[in-house]
Structure 1
Amino acid sequence: MLKALLTFALSRRPIILLGLLVLIGGGLLAFSKLNIEAYPNPAPVILEITAQAPGLSAEEMERYYTIPMEVGLAVTPGVDVIRSTSFYGLSFVRVRFNYGVDYYFAKTQAAIGLQQNVSLPSGASASIQGSSLVGEIYRYQLVGPPGFGLTNLRTLQDWVMQRRLLTVPGVVQVVAWGGTTKTYDVEVDLHKLDAYNVTLPQVLTAIGNANVNVGGRTINVGQQSVDVRGVGLIGTVADIENVVLSSQAGGVPVLVKDVAKASLGYLPRLGRAGRDNDNDVVTGIVIMNRTLRTNEVVARVTAEMQKINSDGTLPPGVRVVPFYDRGSLVSVTTHTVLHNLVFGCLLVFLIQWIFLGNLRSAIIVGANIPFALLFSVTILYLMGESANL
């Protein structure tokens, strides 16, 4: 069999050369379209389910949240291992499925299991997120003009950048890191509460009810109708201070500023982000869907970042500065692989030529390396698989 194959190859040189040219052309075309990942993802489908109940201890979270979710998820098809951790006010369950289980099938079955088999206290609901060991594809920093402040940058990150990037196909999560989260603080004076005969629940209820817009009916003006609306959304500290709590004798209103002090603040910080010489910055991490291709999602995210910087989405002087892009990592590493391939071919050629003294055999052996790589790339592309570095 081998003798006949060699005889055919040596006697049909034009056919062999044509096949070689087809292999080179097909390999280069497949290489240009092949998806290349930075890292392999050997892990099976892993889902992370979380539930929050502020104020409950770790034991209470374990009893009322973690254990019911574990039991409800145990009957999910394809589940391999379930592990959990209970914290103060937080229940965390990690579900690992068997190899070969489809990601979307696993997520759908887990959601059905939670809906049908788990009943959490106070109508709480659990959230499901897909864990990906190689999902991080992009990092950026929000930079503002002098005096803009970390709180304003973090507000833009939470309310503008995150929502805008989640509309990009393939992005499943945007993780904010750094900065201070803006809050409106109301410091109540208990002695004034007693003096005005106002209770603390009244203050909480009044502020909550005041932060809303309400709609009324219409007023007919000739042949037109004018809508009546009550605008009450809180936008400044003064709006909080002027919320009515109750009324005294004679109809004199008791306002929040009569019994408390309102101010701007921020949530207690559990850490900070730093970059280069700046030890306190606002950054964001873009996470992609584990089933999609890096080069396609990165291209969409990059285009969206350029649009955000140019279409007036951000205030004047504020811009997005990317500092990590997996596409750049893939490009640099691919260049290194090609460089090593060329160097390896030349090294094999020189060793063969020097030790065997036959130029023709050295060329044949050295040429096998790129042809083998092109053949492998073609097979990967035809099978719909991705290469990794």
Structure 2
Amino acid sequence: FLQPIQMRFNELLAGVRSELAIKVFGDDFDSLAALGEEIGSAIAQVEGIADIQVEQLTGLPMLNLVPDRQKLMQHGISMAELQSQVATAMGGTVAGKIYQGDVRSDIVVRLGESRRQDVDALSYLPIHLPDGHTVPLQELVSLELVSGANQINRENGKRRVVVTANVRGRDLGSFVADIQQAVADKVDIPAGYWLEYGGTYQKLQSASQRLSIVVPVTLLMIIGLLILALSSFKDAMIIFTGVPLALTGGIAALLLRDIPFSISAAVGFIALSGIAILNGLVMVSFIRELRKEGMGLEQAIFDGALTRLRPVLTTALVASLGFIPMALNTGIGSEVQRPLATVVIGGIISSTLLTLFVIPALYRILHKDKESLLTDVEVLESVDAK
């Protein structure tokens, strides 16, 4: 329940909302910018990549003033006074206030916009000296227009640049593997610099680690409950065969719709396992009841499969119809709903069809020896009676 909050919190901290973010950490600002551009070029040819963006760090025009301290001393003006006059000309100084009804506004004195953007005009800006005279700004400083830092981003106290990208038409895991290979082959990361992969891929990794623990534990618990309910390891394994049968249909459905594997698809496989086991449990339990009533093995299997045919098909149909709107959704949230619904629908169809044939066949194969033994015992008892 807290996963959406955690995802949004991570986005706010890292400032990344794309499916893949390559974070380059280091100290030198220019080296970071160059590495970001190099990585962006290296991954541009990876299959399925889209929306490549390199974080803009430089390119902000800045006016650099280098004072001539000897001339400042000759004219008797301090550095602070020079900075104050230049700041007034460029940024403006509040000279008073104007009242228009209930609205109060500042009166700001500064150069016009055209003058502020013209370096040549600024070089002739009159600077007032303590003796009352003025000199042009170019006599006191040298002016040059340079490209400065647009922004300096840090994460955990370290400077970084981020290269972001999205994926189209393939699963995120294999896409990131190809990205990592391309970066390793084409980009030379100098000493003192390192990469981190974030974005949705980072959440996929953490979710996969959790699922690698949750899924086996869940399946083991299901097997344990089946053994406790049926008091038969053999019958529990027969019912459990419905899980791989269901997974086959889910995988086939993803392939047919060309939907890449994702966390929502993995959740669909977990839900699908429960549905498949439920169908098998209903059928095997009914066959066992018929066997307890004295019916023969093959007849019990035939009657059990035939009698449970309608309930199993009805359950599968209702469940599949309920997921169709999610499978066909194209609006907000479809990236989560479509994989989950596709897996469940495909798995239910394959599990239902295969359960009606595979489970009865397995039950007959595994219980055939027991049936033959019972038949032999009955024959011997009849011979002894005669």
TM-score category by the smaller chain? 0.3 to 0.5
TM-score, normalised on structure 1?
A: 0.38
Q: TM-score, normalised by structure 2?
A: 0.38
RCO comparison, higher one (Cα < 8 Å, 6+):
1
Give 1 or 2 for the bigger CA radius of gyration.
2
Structure number having the greater helix percentage? 2
